[in-house]
Chain A
Amino acid sequence: MDALTDNALMLKVRDGDLDKMSLLFERYKKPLFGFFYHMNKDAELSEDLVQNVFLRILKYRYLFRGDGDFRTWMFHIARNVSHDHFRKNKIAAKDSLETWQDRLGSDENRSSGIQREEEMHLLSMAMDRLPEDKREILVLSKFQDKKYKEIGEILGCTEGAVKVKVFRALQELKEMYQKLETRY
């Protein structure tokens, strides 16, 4: 089974066997898409960003040494892709904040039904309002099913620091949620 581990596949890609890239793509397209979707709530954009990640993996494949974990390396690239996108679209993001209220209004009408659905909707909105770094750490820890140590490797900090970051992010999310709850 060793031949099918992420690292073994990526090493083959690095040495020119590009077909192995499709196995890695099938394995990680959904987790990566989820990561981006939680960050920007835009399915089409998320698909583009997933594509960007694999493009960079192909482009910089010779930099993969195989001594670290492939997933850590891949999420490193994914974070860079995400940050690059936000940096490039700072002005556009501001615009979307203005239209946000409209989106909120229409969504509100749609979700007026079952209570649970409303709760989830509020939670989603609270997530959207979190600062980017806090949203990112929650996405990494909760959706990508990552260990704190692994996240530490991606972010370049200690396991303890990751725990504190998750704690603060969750706390802010809770506060945001409660604020939204009283408003609607």
Chain B
Amino acid sequence: MERNEIKALLVKYNAGQASAEEVNILEKYIEAGVIDLSELQELQVIGEQIMQLEVPAPSLQLDDNFYQMLAQEKKSQLNSFSWKKFFAWPEMLPRLAFASVTLLAGLAIGYWVRPQASEGTANNGQIAELSQQVTDLKEMMMLSLLEKESATDRLKAVSLTQEMDQVSTKVTRALFETLNNDSNVNVRLAALDALKPYARESSVREELIRSIAKQESPLVQVELAEMMAALQEKSSVKELEKLLQQQNTAKEVKQKIRETIQVLI
């Protein structure tokens, strides 16, 4: 439709003579933006008229109600905990920062604590080394004490071996030396007593058997005989018989030895 025809249609409509069909066409032009609503004079007049319709002003009650509601809402906002707020960035940021700092601190502490743990095993090694050194010292002291002239010192030396849980062959050899050659019977007896725990070793037992013939003191002889019986050491019989044949062996000792041989055979 040409512009002239549209104008004619507008004139017809404004005059109030447009048919329903023509009104439909008019609507299409309005929708497409070809005809502006202001071109429809009569409607324009009534449109302007309704703009003059009066509206009363809202009362103060409206303001009162609104501000009351706002105060209420502010109150409940303060009291309420919301997850949304909890996860909001401004709230979340310090929390995350704190969490990461704590994590890093934890990692750092862990890092510093770890080497100390491995140092612990090193400490254990050091302790073992130290205790070994102490044992060595004790051995040295014992050996040197055994050389002393005083019987008390030598007794002390023998008793030192009882404090050691594990003795070296050097120590047992020194003890046998004392058992066989010491001038004091008490020291010899003490040495024999100190050797008792090591009698399980065959070398120690053999040495003990060999020691039987070398003893002159009846006390030591009896002690040895009892020990052989306790150990059930059959190979000691030969040595014990040697003692029986010796003339200077005391009667009581011979009696004891016979009993021992009886037990062993």
Residue of A nearest to B61 (CB): A47
Q: Which residues of A contact B27 (CB under 8 A)?
A: 164, 167-168
Among the interface residues B37, B40, B46, B54, which one has the most CB atoms of the partner chain A within 10 A? Answer: B46
Q: Which residues of A contact B246 (CB under 8 A)?
A: none
Given contacts A33-B62, A46-B58, A167-B30, contact A54 B69 (CB under 8 A): yes
Interface residue count for A (Cβ, 8 Å)? 42
List residues 78-115 of chain A with CB under 8 A from any CB of chain B: none
Residue of B nearest to A141 (CB): B47
Q: Which listed residue, A19, A29, A167, touches B40 by the CB 8 Å rule?
A: A167
Interface residue count for B (Cβ, 8 Å)? 37
Q: Which residues of B contact A16 (CB under 8 A)?
A: 77, 85
A101 to chain B, nearest CB (A): 21
Given contacts A18-B74, A33-B55, contact A55 B49 (CB under 8 A): no
Q: Are A37 and B56 in contact (CB under 8 A)?
A: yes
Q: Are A55 and B69 in contact (CB under 8 A)?
A: yes
Given contacts A33-B55, A164-B27, A164-B30, contact A50 B62 (CB under 8 A): yes
Q: Which listed residue, A47, A51, A177, touches B46 by the CB 8 Å rule?
A: A177
Q: Which residues of A contact B (CB under 8 A)?
A: 16, 18-19, 21-22, 25, 29-30, 33-34, 37-38, 43, 46-47, 50-51, 54-55, 58, 62, 119-120, 123-124, 127, 138, 142-143, 159-161, 163-164, 166-168, 170-171, 173-174, 177
- Show 27 residue pairs from A and B whose CB-CB distance is below 8 angstroms, ordered by the A residue: A16-B77, A18-B73, A18-B77, A30-B57, A33-B55, A37-B55, A37-B56, A47-B58, A50-B62, A51-B62, A54-B66, A58-B69, A119-B49, A120-B54, A127-B53, A160-B32, A160-B33, A161-B31, A164-B27, A164-B30, A166-B37, A167-B37, A170-B40, A170-B46, A170-B47, A171-B43, A173-B46
